[in-house]
Structure formats: C-alpha cells, structure tokens
Amino acid sequence: MANRVLVGTSEEFPAGELKAVKVEGESIVVARVSSGVCAVKNKCAHLPLPLAGGKLEGDSIVCPWHNSKYEMCSGENQDWVAGLLGIKMPNWSRSLISFGKKPQPLTTYIVIEEDGKVYVEI
C-alpha cells in the first residue's frame, strides 16, 4: 500500500517551477502544470542523472543533460536525446548520444492536493 507523505503547501509549488523534494529517501521533482501538481523521480530515463536542474516547457520537463523531454504528469517520453547540456544536436547524432537505449518513460508518483497541502504517494 502506498504511503501518503506531505511535501509542502500549495504555495510552495507555483506554476512553471520545478522543485526537488526528498520523500522517504527518494529524490522527487514536483511541478504545477496546467493539469495540476505532478511528481516524477528525480532521475532521467536515459541515464541516471538528476532532472531537477532541467526546465519546464508547458506541461513537459526537459532533462538538463541531454534534452530528453517528458510529459510531467504521465512521464511519457516526447523527445529522446535531443541534445547535450542544453545544446540542440543534429538528428544523426541522437543514436550516438542515446547509447543504443530506446525511449523510456519517467517514473511518476500520485500527487494529492487538498486543503492547501501537497502530498505524494510513495
């Protein structure tokens, strides 16, 4: 059974900002997007590097290391290994940067927002 953990108040998660939090020893990135507050594991699906230094583009999180783009609430991959350290790379180079890995989704968590508080189930 999932454990509901308080991660902060609603005001601590303004729209358009990523916030890294620790939940039971797990690093998680939380963000408010158009559909509400969502949370993903603070680890890119391509390489186990942190996503917290990335950016939000609409409802998507972009990895700061190799520009992979994921839908924040579902974790679905939208663009796989599009660049390196924020620099767009030509399409032919994607297979080199991807190290032969196929696109994968992010690990997501259920987020509950009620009475001005934000909880993550883990």
Percent above pLDDT 70 for the chain: 93
Q: Does domain 4-121 have CATH number 1.20.1440.130?
A: no
**43, two tokens:** 């680890």
Structural domain spans, the chain: 4-121
pLDDT at 1: 66
pLDDT at 85: 77
Structure confidence by residue, pLDDT tens digits, 43-85: 999 888 999 999 999 999 999 998 999 999 999 999 988 887 7
* pLDDT of 9 above 90: yes
- Pick the residue with more confidence: 99 or 19? 19
- How far apart, in Å, are the Cα atoms of 74 and each of 5, 39, 83, 88, 99? 20, 9, 22, 24, 24
pLDDT at 74: 97
Question: What is d(CA 53, CA 65) in angstroms, rounded to the nearest whole number?
Answer: 9
